[in-house]
Amino acid sequence: MVTELRAEEETLACDLNQARRWYQPYADEIVVWVGEQSPGWVTILNMSGLLPWPALDALSRPGGRAYSLSYYAGEVGEPACFNGSEWEEDISADHWDRPRQEGAGLIGSSDLAREMNFYLAALAYTTGGFIDDAWFTTPGLLCRIPDGAWPRA
C-alpha cells in the first residue's frame, strides 16, 4: 500500500491515538493514517491535507474494499467506499439506516463527536469491525505523501 500511495520513505508505524498528533487544519501537506478495519477492509483517515482521488484510485484493487473518511478544516467529509470495482461517493441510503435506527448520531459531547460517531457506526455495521479502545491502539501506518506525488485538482 505504501508503494501505491507513493510514500515509501515517508511512513511511521503508529496507532491512531499517536497519529492524531499530525492533524493540521488547512495544511498543504498530505498525511494519512491507514489501518486494517476488519479482515478485507482498510480504513484511510486523512490527518492533514486532502488526499486526491488519483491516490485513492491507486489503492483500489479489483475485489478489494476500502472506506475513506476525512476530517479537514474542522469538518468531516462525506465518506467514500470502494466496493470492489469503483469508488462510491454517493453511498446508498440504506447504508445509513442502521446507525440512524441505533441513534449513533445522538452520541457525543459535541456536534463533531456526534457526526463522527454516526459515520464510524456506519463503517462498523458495513465492515463488521467496530470502533473500540482496541481499534484506536491497533498499529497502522502514518504516511506523508511527498509534495508532487499526485496532481492537485
Query: Quick check: is 40 in a domain?
Result: yes
In the predicted model, is pLDDT for residue 152 greater than 70?
Answer: no
Tell me the CA distances in angstroms from 108 to 98, 118, 137, one per residue in order. Answer: 18, 10, 20
Query: Quick check: is 152 in a domain?
Result: no
The three grid cell numbers given for residue 111, joined into one nine-digit string: 456536534
Range of the domain at 59: 2-144
Query: Quick check: is 24 in a domain?
Result: yes
Q: Structural domain tally of the chain?
A: 1
In the predicted model, is pLDDT for residue 153 greater than 60?
Answer: no
Mean predicted lDDT score pLDDT of the chain: 81
Q: What pLDDT digit, counting tens, does each position of 26-37 carry?
A: 788 888 888 877
Q: What pLDDT digit, counting tens, does each position of 73-109 carry?
A: 777 887 888 877 888 877 888 888 989 998 988 888 8
CB atoms inside a 10 Å sphere around CB 114: 15
Q: What is the pLDDT of residue 142?
A: 92
In the predicted model, is pLDDT for residue 52 greater than 80?
Answer: no
Query: Quick check: is 72 in a domain?
Result: yes
